[in-house]
């Protein structure tokens, strides 16, 4: 035991040269009592809006009793933001703590056929693993793998283990899909291998006959190679089964080792394919039905935590990767506002693109039915858990905390609105306090922006971003613009 402790000490000193011997010794002491650490489960919805969840929008046409229950037992953040308005950069920011606008991460980077997260970038899974957690991921990765790029389009090489994915970025296990359920090739991945190789061909799906227009289009998935047994309509249930199984297996086999589970749902991202059990159950068409199915899957995971006995010592987070893909025609048809009162939707820099539901349950630390107005970002999750684990992040994970600011104080004292430094949320806007400067026109790239292209909003009085105040507040607008330009000047793009 003494020999193993000495080897561990030497290893930590070599790995973290900025730590003193006393700090490393203290870290080892905490590792020795890792069973006292809370389990952590992060549930990430895909393209779900701020206004879809009942506890965020009393006028929602979608019932979400299970998500509402987590809110009733925990804390709702009313001013929480994904790291971007689209899937890949948002997930990158959540896992690394790095603002994707700083490194130029966008969905189109996937076309390079290489992992989005570099080998030298730490992730949440890295940090949890360093602190003796069992780390597991289930669901949609969407952050790239090492692929063959000699062809016109990057392709998987199934003759060897898949690399650059979750297992090479801190996770012990992975079960899921490389992208969305409707994006080929269609197959499940277990750790570094396909469960079944996509050896068959599907002509795709052009929508159900009882749907018309947008609803039919959103149910469509393209032709492509597909693995035997892969059914896009059953992806949600299959992933949920795995997440529930991991929770129960962990209790049975891992003893006192804490668990970090990242469960990245693939819904309600298109194709909208709710199971028959949920068809017609909401007041918002197939999309609403799909959200109801998602809510039930969240409920299954929450129930598994309670049944297994883990719930009392688990930090459970539910959120969404960005705003909804919900257009004006759908708002008119169903009278449901998936983004609530927010302007814009997925891929927009307006609030509807990145302000998301964010609920945290931590029985030992958070008062039930709490609400906070503190502003947070996905990038802040890294620093927050470093704070929870009492990890010296500035020494151990310096590259991950430049854009990451702990919101642990907001979790413990939600009635106090804690301040956050300036937030560049997507490359087209900056937020300082309740003031937001946003580019009104796209094109030319962030570096080509000048102040004439921007709008200024005061979100405390104008959450829907309807009243442009830039003409009345030129000094404030210029102050935000200078901060924005400074951020751009410090970027290092991938």
Q: What is the pLDDT of residue 172?
A: 98
Q: What is the pLDDT of residue 256?
A: 82
Mean pLDDT of 374-396: 97
Cis bond before residue 75 (omega within 30° of 0): no
Q: What is the pLDDT of residue 206?
A: 72
Select from 492, 346, 348, 355 the least CA-distant residue to 423. 355
Q: Using CA atoms in the order 43, 45, 51, 56, what is the torsion angle rounded to 10 degrees?
A: 0
The band of 447, judged by pLDDT with boundaries at 50, 70 and 90, is low
CB 264 within 8 A of CB 176: yes
Q: H or E segment at 22?
A: helix 21-32
Mean pLDDT of 21-43: 68
Q: Which two tokens stand for residue 7?
A: 């080897």
The band of 443, judged by pLDDT with boundaries at 50, 70 and 90, is low
Q: H or E segment at 7?
A: helix 2-15
- The three state secondary structure string of 298-331 is HHHHHHHHHHHCCHHHEEEEEEECCCCCCCHHHH
Those residues whose C-beta lies under 8 Å from the C-beta of residue 34, and which sit 6 or more positions away, are: 131, 132, 133, 256, 257, 258
| Residue 446 reports pLDDT greater than 70 | no
CA angle 425, 481, 372 (to 5 degrees): 40
DSSP 456: E
Strand-strand pairing, 39-45 and 358-361 = unpaired
pLDDT digits (tens, 9 = 90+) for 225-250: 999 999 999 999 999 999 999 999 99
Mean pLDDT of 125-153: 94
- Dihedral sign from CA coordinates of 61, 62, 64, 67: negative
Q: What is the pLDDT of residue 344?
A: 96
Q: In what order do the strands lie in the sheet with 435-439?
A: 423-424, 429-432, 435-439, 454-458
pLDDT digits (tens, 9 = 90+) for 405-423: 999 999 999 999 999 999 9
Q: Exposed, middle or buried: residue 210 (CB in 10 Å: 0-12, 13-18, 19+)?
A: exposed
For residues 10 and 209, give the distance between their C-alpha atoms in angstroms, rounded to a whole number.
Answer: 65
Give percent above pLDDT 70 in the chain: 88
For residues 26 and 9, give the distance between their C-alpha atoms in angstroms, rounded to a whole number.
Answer: 10
Would you tell me the crossing angle of helices 2-15 and 21-32 to the nearest 10 degrees? 130
The band of 208, judged by pLDDT with boundaries at 50, 70 and 90, is low
Q: What does the longest C-alpha to C-alpha distance in the chain come to? A: 70
The band of 25, judged by pLDDT with boundaries at 50, 70 and 90, is low
Least-confidence region, from 74-78, 216-220, 234-238: 216-220
pLDDT digits (tens, 9 = 90+) for 307-326: 999 999 999 999 999 999 99
Neighbours of 200 (CB within 10 A): 13
For residues 432 and 445, give the distance between their C-alpha atoms in angstroms, rounded to a whole number.
Answer: 22
| Residue 6 reports pLDDT greater than 60 | no
Torsion angles phi and psi, residue 103, rounded to 5: -110, 0
Q: What is the pLDDT of residue 32?
A: 47
Give percent above pLDDT 90 in the chain: 83
* Gyration radius (Cα) of the chain, Å: 22
- Dihedral sign from CA coordinates of 478, 480, 484, 489: positive
The beta-carbon contacts of 27-34 under 8 Å, at least 24 apart in sequence, are 27/391, 27/392, 30/131, 30/389, 30/390, 31/131, 31/132, 34/131, 34/132, 34/133, 34/256, 34/257, 34/258
Q: Which two tokens stand for residue 228?
A: 């035997």
| Residue 5 reports pLDDT greater than 50 | no
**Alpha helices for 133-284 (secondary structure H):** 213-218, 235-253
The topology (CATH level 3) of 429-489 is Arylsulfatase, C-terminal domain (3.30.1120)
Mean pLDDT of the chain: 91
Q: What is the pLDDT of residue 19?
A: 54
Mean pLDDT of 247-254: 89
CB 281 within 8 A of CB 289: yes
Mean pLDDT of 424-447: 83
Select from 74, 75, 96, 76 the least CA-distant residue to 84. 96
Strand-strand pairing, 75-81 and 358-361 = antiparallel
Q: What is the pLDDT of residue 205?
A: 79
Q: H or E segment at 12?
A: helix 2-15
134: which strand partners? 259
The band of 4, judged by pLDDT with boundaries at 50, 70 and 90, is very low
DSSP 415: T
Q: How many CA atoms lie within 13 A of 54 on its CB side?
A: 18
The band of 11, judged by pLDDT with boundaries at 50, 70 and 90, is very low
| Residue 271 reports pLDDT greater than 80 | yes
For residues 265 and 139, give the distance between their C-alpha atoms in angstroms, rounded to a whole number.
Answer: 6
pLDDT digits (tens, 9 = 90+) for 332-370: 999 999 999 999 999 999 999 999 999 999 999 999 999
pLDDT digits (tens, 9 = 90+) for 103-114: 999 999 999 999
CATH number of 38-420: 3.40.720.10
Select from 188, 173, 83 the least CA-distant residue to 128. 173
């Amino acid at each position: 035991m003494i020999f193993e402790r000495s080897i561990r000490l030497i290893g930590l000193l070599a790995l973290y040269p900025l730590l003193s011997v006393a700090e490393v010794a203290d870290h080892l002491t905490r590792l020795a009592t890792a069973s006292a650490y809370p389990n952590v489960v992060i549930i990430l919805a895909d393209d779900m809006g701020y206004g879809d969840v009942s506890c965020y929008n009393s006028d929602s046409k979608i019932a979400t009793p299970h998500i509402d229950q987590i809110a009733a037992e925990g804390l709702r953040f009313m001013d929480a933001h994904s790291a971007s308005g689209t899937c890949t950069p948002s997930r990158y920011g959540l896992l690394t703590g790095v603002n994707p606008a700083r490194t130029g991460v966008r969905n189109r980077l996937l076309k390079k056929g290489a992992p989005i997260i570099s080998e030298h970038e730490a992730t949440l899974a890295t940090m949890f693993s360093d602190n003796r957690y069992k780390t597991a991921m289930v669901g949609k990765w969407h952050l790239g793998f090492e692929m063959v790029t000699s062809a016109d389009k990057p392709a998987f090489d199934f003759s060897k283990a898949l690399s650059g994915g979750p297992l090479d970025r801190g996770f012990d296990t992975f079960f899921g899909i490389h992208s969305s359920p409707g994006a080929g090739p269609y197959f499940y991945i277990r750790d570094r291998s396909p469960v079944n190789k996509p050896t068959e061909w599907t002509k795709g799906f052009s929508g159900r006959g009882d749907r018309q227009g947008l609803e039919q289009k959103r149910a469509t998935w393209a032709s492509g190679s597909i693995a035997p047994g892969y059914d896009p309509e059953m992806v949600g249930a299959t992933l949920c089964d795995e997440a529930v199984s991991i929770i129960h297996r962990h209790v049975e086999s891992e003893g006192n080792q804490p668990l970090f589970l990242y469960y990245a749902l693939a819904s309600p991202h298109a194709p909208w394919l709710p199971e028959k059990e949920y068809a017609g159950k909401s007041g918002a068409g197939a999309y609403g039905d799909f959200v109801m199915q998602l809510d039930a899957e969240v409920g299954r995971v929450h129930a598994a935590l309670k049944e297994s006995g883990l719930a009392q010592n688990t930090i459970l987070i539910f959120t969404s990767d960005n705003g909804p893909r919900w257009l004006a025609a759908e708002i008119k048809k169903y009278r449901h506002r998936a983004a609530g009162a927010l302007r814009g939707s997925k891929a927009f820099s307006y609030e509807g693109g990145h302000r998301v539901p964010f609920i945290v349950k931590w029985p030992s630390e958070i008062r039930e039915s709490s609400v906070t107005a503190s502003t947070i970002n996905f990038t802040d999750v890294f620093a927050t858990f470093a704070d929870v684990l009492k990890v010296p992040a500035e020494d151990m994970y310096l590259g991950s905390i430049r854009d990451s600011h702990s919101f642990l104080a907001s979790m413990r004292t939600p009635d106090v609105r804690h301040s956050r430094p300036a937030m560049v949320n997507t490359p087209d806007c900056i937020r300082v306090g309740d003031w937001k400067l946003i580019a009104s026109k796209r094109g030319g790239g962030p570096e080509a922006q000048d102040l004439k292209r921007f709008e200024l909003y005061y979100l405390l009085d104008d959450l829907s971003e309807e009243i442009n105040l830039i003409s009345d507040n030129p000094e404030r607008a210029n102050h935000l613009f200078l901060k924005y330009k400074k951020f751009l000047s410090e970027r290092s793009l991938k």
